[in-house]
Amino acid sequence: MIKETMQARVLLIDDQPMVLEKLRLVLEAHSDIELRVESRAEVAVEAALEFRPTVILQDLIMPGIDGYALLALYRAAEELANVPVVILSASDDAVAKERCFLLGANDYLVKLPETIELVARIRYHSASCLARAERDEAFRLLTASQADLAAANALLSRLNGIDELTGVGNRRSFDAAMAAEWSRGLRHSKPLSLVICDIDHFKHYNDHFGHVAGDYCIKGIAAVLADQLRRPSDKLARYGGEEFAIVLPDTDLPGALLVAEGCRARVESLAIDESTGLRGPVTMSFGVASLVPSRGASIQGMVEAADAALFDAKRGGRNTVRHASRLAGG
């Protein structure tokens, strides 16, 4: 059966007691994370099969069985083949990272990472794991009896709104969220804000470091942006390529600018944070549009206004926030 909650189940494996204790204290402080700790790599696979984690967080260099061998063992076990594995290593060596990713690692962090970044990545990978499990369950239901077909189709419809690379909403879910929030704002005369943001010089980043690093960068940025949104009603979606959109219902222009600036500053801080695993500096530009939906305005007009503000931010030097100065219905 599909889980009712989105609680992350983290299996932490590290042979260093001080590291284990620090990470345990950090992760147990979050009510949505269930943690199991093991100090011996030899029991890791058995523990994973018993605990059924949504994320495995493990050291790379350990006595007996090292992290490389464990990765191969996880991927050889059918029950663990798709469980996200996040490597924690004291080394920032590019060759070690490449080897880990080739063996099936999903992420690589230099320990000890910042708490906010570690928790954001755990939540992201856990959500992706649960989403995959739900998709597998949905396809299983499609082969069941005709009576179950309607429920399976409903489930697939919901999951089709997930971007496979990042685990956040895709363009389809963005369109649905904008339509729903526009209608709600129109009925209740409530403000609606839209933020469209784009990774600066991403083509250069991709060309210089390669597409694997580029995908890793996009996934990391998605996790950071998602962590900046504090309300369940706020919706983040991958708008296309390296571009993201944030729908902020019941939010006026000052509130939207505050959210956008918080996202911009957090992304900028990643560029100087060696624990992120980014291959180079990364910044983002943001365009903001805000209005109270009316009959004289349109979703398309709002999107175009936010996109124009984003273009203005790019033209103004990037790594900045700009807002639409004129917007019909605002």
Q: Which residues contact 85 (CB under 8 A, 6 or more apart)?
A: 55, 56, 58, 71, 74, 104, 105, 106, 107
| Sequence ranges of the domains in the chain | 8-129, 131-159, 171-323
pLDDT, residue 86, reads 92
CB 7 within 8 A of CB 27: no
Give the model's pLDDT for residue 328. Answer: 47
- Residue with the two structure tokens 């956008």: 260
CB of 258 closer than 8 Å to CB of 266:
no
The domain made up of 8-129 has a fold known as Rossmann fold (3.40.50)
Structure confidence at residue 145 (pLDDT) = 59
Of the candidates 202, 236, 290, 16, the one whose C-alpha atom is nearest the C-alpha of residue 127 is 236
Mean pLDDT for each 10-residue chunk of the chain (330 residues)?
Answer: 62 89 89 89 90 91 86 88 89 88 89 86 87 76 60 64 88 93 94 96 88 88 92 93 96 96 92 57 94 93 96 95 73
Confidence at residue 4, expressed as pLDDT on a 0 to 100 scale: 39
* Superfamily for the 171-323 domain: Reverse transcriptase/Diguanylate cyclase domain (3.30.70.270)
Among 27, 33, 108, 40, smallest CA distance to 70 is for: 40
Nearest residue to 141 via CA among 128, 159, 129 = 159
Helix %, strand %, coil % for the chain, to 5?
Answer: 50, 20, 30
Same fold for the pair 8-129 and 171-323: no
What sign for the dihedral angle of Cα 168, 172, 176, 181? positive
Instruction: Return the amino acid letter for 109.
Output: L
